[in-house]
Amino acid sequence: MIIDGHQHFWDPARADYPWMEAPELAPIRRAFAPADLAPLLRAEGIDASILVQCRSSIAETEEFLRLADATPFVVGVVGWADLTDAALDETLGQLRDSPGGAKLVGIRHQVHDEADPDWLLREDVQRGLTAVFAHDLAYDLLVRTRELPAAIATAQAFPQARFVLDHVAKPPIATGFSKEWADRLAALAACGNVWCKISGLATEATWDDWDAERLFPYVAHAATCFGEDRLIYGSDWPVCLLAGSYAEIKAALDTCLTKLGGKAREKAFGGNAQQAYRLPAA
């Protein structure tokens, strides 16, 4: 099974997305639904996808689970839940019992939007993560270089848990290779319980001036750090449309992963996502 490990659906006419207010995001400030993605997946030979949260809303998580229940190609949902809520354990149980709840595979929060770079290390957040892992869910780390030290400490604090790093921690590709990002990424990978999504890279580059060659040093560094067993392909559609079409993004990452050699491409396009999110076998 070939899997797109990271995609979204949204409708700004029905809900607020604070991160989408910037003028340059106007091209994606419209509804995107399963019917829009399905033909793109078929055209690229992709069998399934992981649907990832877009806003801090339990209602969205419930909606995504219902959507996944009605959409065969969505094999997993990374939803949102309030990690600081003392009743999180009960909330997660309710989500698992709701329509489509069997497809809940992980939880995510926009950590890089928090003012505190150590937000992950707060006592109430760590308590919430304990509840997430008690329900055998993965936790998606949406962080940049600034928050990587807290992510490293968190991964070390839960050695038996499963973490998935989104977008290779968003390296500052447009401004040049960052040694700080590279060193911190290596330290996170050394924890051993973190997978890395090869996703969201084109939108960290200059949107109208990037190609596979420009992205490859970042993919190669991730591969050096995580190895071929912990890389996961993700389109980050429809955010990726700011920089290129679904086909262009997929082709560039395909080129990068193929260039790594070995079984990196084969594993990143399916098997590793199945392991990270404990998806049922095809």
Cα separation, 84 vs 125, whole angstroms: 5
The overall pTM is greater than 0.95: yes
User: Does residue 85 or residue 281 have the better pLDDT?
Assistant: 85
Cβ contacts of residue 260 below 8 Å, gap of 6+? 219, 220, 223, 228
pLDDT beyond 70 at 89: yes
Q: What is the per-residue pLDDT across 149-183, written as a single tens digit (0 to 9) for each?
A: 999 999 999 999 999 999 999 999 999 999 999 99
Domains of the chain, CATH where assigned? 3-277 (3.20.20.140)
The total of other beta-carbon atoms located within 10 Å of residue 238's CB is 20
Q: In one letter, which amino acid is 13?
A: A
In Å, the largest CA–CA distance within the chain is 47
Q: What is the per-residue pLDDT across 140-150, written as a single tens digit (0 to 9) for each?
A: 999 999 999 99
pLDDT beyond 80 at 137: yes
